[in-house]
Structure 1
Amino acid sequence: MASLTMPAGVTTVLLDIEGTTTPITFVKEILFPYIEDNVKEYLQNHWEEKECQEDVQLLRLQAEKDRELNGFVPIPVNEAEVQKIIQGVVDNVNWQISLDRKTTALKQLQGHMWRAAYASGQIKGEVYDDVVPALRKWKEAGIKLYIFSSGSVEAQKLLFGYSIEGDLLELFQGHFDTTVGPKVESESYRKIADHIGCSTENILFLTDITTEAKAAEEAGVNVAVVMRPGNAALTDEEKASNPLITSFMQITCMHKIN
């Protein structure tokens, strides 16, 4: 696959994570199973802590909203025995995960569990071999680097802060999650450009999802679609209508930002 020259006006590279900097398998086979395998032990070990109680209360409030949903799993009230409440929380969390839900309550608990796992060394964030050398090269050229992922900003910082390549957070100027808007809506990319303080045409967005690339492109952002092992296969039409790379090292930066 041919190399791609970074457009001359680009001052910022915006990066997706899953399938772009990091294997999809890391999220699907390590991060999410860790929650299911360890949620009960985590709750038992941290039950008396304020943060854990806040997580449980948020999950309980979400459960109240979910009462009408098919297969709803309730969380017992405070008068119940602690172990019954914990089991109820475990069952509710696993039910939400089985439906691939992304509620704030679930994300908050997951974030706190992952933080503990990263800090203890049980989990290390995975990045493809080509990512760090390319990011360092672009940063040396004066390019600003940002992340835009559906995972929370906290989860992003954990992945890169406790990566297999060490602490990579110093490479990034900032992080965005879907609180700025959905990744498949053009307005999200305009908001990011405003926040960074540049024009959308000054941004190069790298993602493995063509609908995200299309939304960014419609906002005036430069895009390239990343093809990695294990990513969803692209149609011939998607391949024809997007710049494609299989490695960050294929992107050549010909200009230096002062």
Structure 2
Amino acid sequence: MDDVPNDAKSKEVVRLWRAWRTVHEMVADREYELAEEEVNISLDRFRDEYCNPDGSVKYVPRPRLRPRLRRGLALLSHPRGHPLSGLFAAAKRPSYIQKLTARAPSSRAKLQFSARPSDAMLKKNTPPATESNPDPAPDCGPVWVEFLTDKQFGVGQIRQFAKYTISNNYKTGIMVTHVPLSPAARKSLASVENLAKIECFLEGDLLVNITHHELVPRHVLLSRDEKTALLKRYRLKETQLPRILQKDPVARYLGLKRGQVVKIIRVSETAGRYASYRLCV
């Protein structure tokens, strides 16, 4: 980036700062644990911590992949052509895993972080106990967020990111890219959703936090118990609730999964404050 004019570098830094801030707000709104200073970072502090004196983003390589796969994942095998074919290396070939660090890290490589779920998030995402499963595990875990600068995003980049996410025991991986995914890459996201949830956001879509707009009502994810109580209170079946698509911008922001119910709180000049509920499909 040495040949890039300073004004262009400055614009890029401001753009990255806005996207960086929105991503942190999104992760915090999903109830992951983040410090207040991480979420509300100022532009000056962002420049000090993540930029070189010439205005370019600091170069820091991606952390090396720890060769500790979940038990069983390394033993998966699929026929050639299967979406998961080649996703995991055999346990006896740890050198293959290290190839993930061979690609040149991007200038945005320092713009990466992870976060753990809070107690409130764990409670909200834990299934109710049953006789067969008296101590159910929560359906959530750590999240990994990374800014990527590949000029094209195909199936190979998705697999590479999925390998890193799953092999390091992250439950969710969020990619922030400056180019859209190819149709094949977007389709391949579904092939790993039973192992980890991989999400992709365009950098340009994160310049503004849509949930801060005055016309966007507040959305609150209900826990499983709250969902059950809601259906029982109104004597409804799940399918009778109004719906919100999983690809809805706010649903994507909150990371909603199919079957979850969100409470939408609106303020009206005539009706005052009222709530409605929608099922994610």
Which TM-score applies when normalising by structure 2?
A: 0.25
Name the one with the larger strand percent.
Answer: 2
Name the one with the larger helix percent.
Answer: 1
Which TM-score applies when normalising by structure 1?
A: 0.27
> Whose RCO is larger (CA < 8 A, sep 6+)?
1
